[in-house]
Amino acid sequence: MRPFSARVTRPTPAERVQSILYAAQSMTVVSDGSHAEVHRLDNASARGRLHLHTPAEIAPAGAGPRVPVRLEFTDIAPTAVRDRLRARVTLTGLLADPYSNESPRSACMEFGQAVIEDGEGRRFVTLDELQAAGPDPMATSEASMLTHLVDSHEELVPLLVRLVRPRPARGMIRAVPLAMDRYGVTLRLEYPTAHRDVRLPFATPVSDIDQAGPRIRALLDTARRVSHHSRLFA
């Protein structure tokens, strides 16, 4: 549980997993030694397609043998940054039937474990944590918002860089929006042989997608004030 006094500036691992599942339109199903790529997921998200259960919820008396399965998801940056893989999520568990888009029974999964691997390391997420965490309200809109920022308002990105603390090191080649969630915007600062990711937190988290625009404009207004203050005291 997060302490009430702490300002939250980033999603929990459980929130990240939920958001990746909610936005995913494809996954890799590994079962009985075979790999199958599943795309579009019947025009639903992975989270809408899959139903995660405890053993007690999914094991009626007389149930037959279950099918071990591993579901793999990748979170790819929608913008053209170096190393676009942002995270991998792996779910393991047991299915009543071999996975098939045509079989509702195969969408009910006895939960084994969930793992997320990203730039912060490898974290395990419990079913209770997943059920307590909702998807980010920006999960399905993030890609279009980031690409719109890069394609139509590229001049605003250097303005956001003025908020980066500590300030970018010398030799930075460019800054590119990498991610956006209810807590803020993440920029990737690229250097000749390395990169650094920095978060620019919103003043308060977004609870509805309609709040995203005002939060971004507030960041830009803060960046303009920082720039003006710096010129006054230069």
Calpha distance 216→6 (Å, rounded): 22
Range 13-132 has CATH code 2.30.110: yes
pTM across the whole model: 0.87
Q: Quick: pLDDT tens for 212-234.
A: 999 999 999 999 998 655 553 34
Q: Quick: pLDDT tens for 65-87.
A: 788 999 999 999 999 999 999 99
Give the model's pLDDT for residue 221.
Answer: 96
For residues 139 and 22, is the Cβ–Cβ distance under 8 A? yes
Which is nearest to 28 in space by CA: 59, 70, 60, 57? 70
Domain boundaries, the chain: 13-132, 142-232
CATH number of 142-232: 3.20.180.10
Q: Quick: pLDDT tens for 202-213.
A: 999 999 999 999
What mean pLDDT comes out for the span 120-139? 95
Instruction: Please return the burial class of 202, using the count of CB atoms within 10 Å of its CB with bins 0-12, 13-18 and 19+.
Output: buried
- For β-strands 108-118 and 51-53, DSSP reports them as parallel
For residues 69 and 132, is the Cβ–Cβ distance under 8 A? no
What mean pLDDT comes out for the span 163-186? 96
> CA 178 → CA 143, 184, 189, 192, distances in Å?
10, 11, 9, 18
